Amino acid sequence: MNVMLTRSPSESMPARMEPLARLPVFLALEGRRAVVAGGTAAAAWKAELLSAAGAEVKVYAASPCEELLALATEPPRGSIFIHRRAWYVDDIRGAAIAIGACDTDEEAVHFANAGRASGVPVNVIDKPQFCDFAFGAIVNRSPLVIGISTDGAAPVFGQAIRAKLEALIPRGFAQWAEAARRWRGDVKNSGLSFNARRRFWQIFTAHAVVHPEHEPTASDYERLLKAAEAERERADRGSVTLVGAGPGDPELLTLRAVRALQSADVILFDDLVSPEILEFARREAKKMLVGKSGYAPSCTQDEINALMVGLARAGRRVVRLKGGDPMIFGRAGEEIAACRKAHVAVEVVPGITAAQGAASRLGISLTQRGNARRVQYVTGHGADGALPADIDWRSLADPNATSIIYMPVKTIDELTARAITAGLDPATPAVAVARATRPDETRVVSTIAELPERLAEAGLPGPVVVMIGRTFSALAAAQAVGTETRKLLP
């Protein structure tokens, strides 16, 4: 007799922030006094950064370099005034920030102590041991600004990352970020509800990403506002999105899945979802574990449906996050029906299935020409946890099919025996893949006749998918000569 072990949906606390080498902080320096001590080219570059941020820069240098003199004549934003003398402690007092180009450690200690005694954060160029803060590599699409730091460990690496981001982020994003700053107050006073205002910014972002080089105008604002107003009722009603999380590797998420996670108020996720995937969600989104398992405490489907619908009716944007693809043995049909019955808007974002992920890592086509004419997906257990009684055994024995068995571990002995009795060749190649596409992915390769014993020996962690068919012949041959690994390295 199978006993159903139940558990209630539980909120998952957000993961703690991993240790930071530096706290990234963006200082507001417009109109504030900043001190630069030294007249070198490096000091000139720091003075330029401070001026670009709007600071009133005071440079103290007995012999300023040509770059500094030229910069003072045409500063990028805030004024730059050069005092042709050495710095004094009184020069630092009351400043917002102080930067020193110091030749010796003795001078650096003196400068750093003077700043700290005055409560002024200090940076000593190229001497990180004396710095309260550090400058990173900068991607400038102001007011969109990205700072990159390696804590001084690998500046060249930081610059390489900056170069990558420079290539990825269109320069036109600067004008869209500026438009967002201009329009924010208007949107807030537009009369739209909180959810509708958030929808405005989602539409704004999607439009900016598609048209980065288009200069936003007042007519764009009006059009985007009308689009948000048109969706006001739906935004306030709440909705449900069933999202496929894929087999485990977070890089296999679709862009649409990432957007859904980033816009969700509540995420209801299964045990099979990788924790790394939840990192794509907004930090303030509520994350609730509603795991289902045939052989461990599980939330009932009715509980999940009621929670999902209730949250949506309360105006929440709900993401129901499922491992693999929600439409493949994910009970998506029941959840869609529950939403439609409650008149809750529902949509589906497909995901990469466990079989697709496993096949991609194996480098084997599931429909290899000459070996397979079709692919069939079969569940290894029914609602009661036993082997389903209505499996088409003749179909499973078809040598021209690639069969994918989901949730097979507890019933693989009986499934294999009945398939062989129905005509499946006992020598047919089979591969079981646990935690497909994840760093700890593990495989067992054998004939279908030997697979139950091999699985019992391996004790694979879930989730497991079993794939059967002639398309795996080359893999089985490699295993026979000992070239196939049982455990994969990251």
Amino acid 129: pLDDT? 92
| Cα dihedral value 34, 40, 42, 44, nearest 10 | 50
CA distance 199 to 179: 16
Q: Is residue 168 part of a domain?
A: no
CATH classification at residue 406: 3.30.950.10
Q: Which of 352, 371, 406 is the last residue of a domain?
A: 352
As a whole number, the mean pLDDT across the chain is 90
Average pLDDT of 454-478?
88
Residue whose C-alpha is closest to residue 486's, from 405, 432, 409, 447: 432
Residue 484 confidence (pLDDT) above 60: no
The pLDDT value given to residue 487: 45
Question: What does the angle CA 398 – CA 404 – CA 408 come to, to the nearest 5 degrees?
Answer: 115
Q: Are 205 and 243 members of one domain?
A: no
Alpha-carbon distance 248 to 463, whole Å?
10
CA pair distance 100, 135, nearest whole angstrom = 13
Q: Is 164 noted as a catalytic residue in this protein?
A: no
Report the CATH number that the domain containing residue 91 is assigned in CATH.
Answer: 3.40.50.720
If asked whether residues 376 and 442 sit together in one domain, one would say yes
- Residue 292 is a catalytic residue: yes
- 225 to each of 29, 187, 237, 260, how far by Cα in Å? 33, 8, 18, 21
Please tell me whether residues 381 and 265 are part of one structural domain: no
**488 pLDDT higher than 60:** no
Kindly state whether residues 217 and 278 are assigned to the same domain: no
Between 232 and 215, residue with greater pLDDT = 215
For the residues of 321-371, what is the DSSP string, one character each? EESB-TTTTS-HHHHHHHHHHTT-EEEEE----HHHHHHHHHT--TT-TTT
Q: Are 135 and 151 in contact (CB under 8 A)?
A: no
**135-160: pLDDT as tens digits:** 989 999 999 999 999 888 888 999 99
Q: Say how many domains are in the chain.
A: 4
Q: Based on the domain organization, do 386 and 406 belong to the same domain?
A: yes
Q: Which residue has the higher pLDDT, 194 or 427?
A: 427
Amino acid, single-letter form, for residue 326? P
Active-site residue (options: 249, 270, 325, 398): 270
Residue 23 lies in a domain: no
DSSP single-letter state for residue 16: P
In a domain, 147, yes or no: no
Query: 6 or 254: which carries more pLDDT confidence?
Result: 254
What residues pair up with 37 in beta bridges, in sequence order? Answer: 60, 100
Q: Do residue 253 and residue 346 come from a single domain? A: yes
**Predicted pLDDT of residue 320:** 96
Q: Which among 292, 322, 325, 398 is annotated as catalytic?
A: 292
With contact defined as beta carbons under 8 Å apart, do 380 and 407 qualify? yes
CATH code (residue 344): 3.40.1010.10
Residue 111 has pLDDT above 60, yes or no: yes
- Give the model's confidence band at 221: pLDDT under 50 very low, under 70 low, under 90 confident, else very high: very high
What pLDDT shows up at residue 483?
A: 39
Helix orientation angle between 218-230 and 194-210, rounded to the nearest 10 degrees? 130
Going from the C-alpha of 333 to that of each of 5, 254, 341, 472, the distances in angstroms are 23, 21, 12, 32
Percent of the chain with pLDDT over 90: 71
User: Residue 28 domain-assigned?
Assistant: no
Residue 383 pLDDT > 80, yes or no? Answer: no
Please check whether residues 361 and 472 belong to one and the same domain: yes
- Could you list the residue range(s) of the whole structural domain that residue 215 is in? 173-233
Give the model confidence (pLDDT) of 97-107 as tens digits: 999 999 999 99
* Residue finishing a domain among 294, 325, 352: 352
Does 225 lie in the same domain as 177?
A: yes
Residues 306 and 406 in one domain: no
Residue 367 pLDDT > 80? yes
- Determine the pLDDT at residue 459: 87
From 86, 110, 135, give the residue that closes a domain: 135
Mean per-residue pLDDT for 382-399?
88
Q: Work out the burial of residue 137: count CB atoms within 10 Å of its CB; fewer than 13 is exposed, 13-18 middle, 19 or more buried.
A: buried
pLDDT, tens digit, 9 for 90 and up, residues 72-101: 999 999 999 999 999 999 999 999 999 999
Residue 278 lies in a domain: yes
Residue 295 above 90 pLDDT?
A: no
CB 354 within 8 A of CB 408: no
Q: Read off φ and ψ for residue 319, nearest 5 degrees.
A: -110, 120
Which residue reads 């989104």 in tokens?
285
Band of the pLDDT at 300, cuts 50, 70, 90?
confident
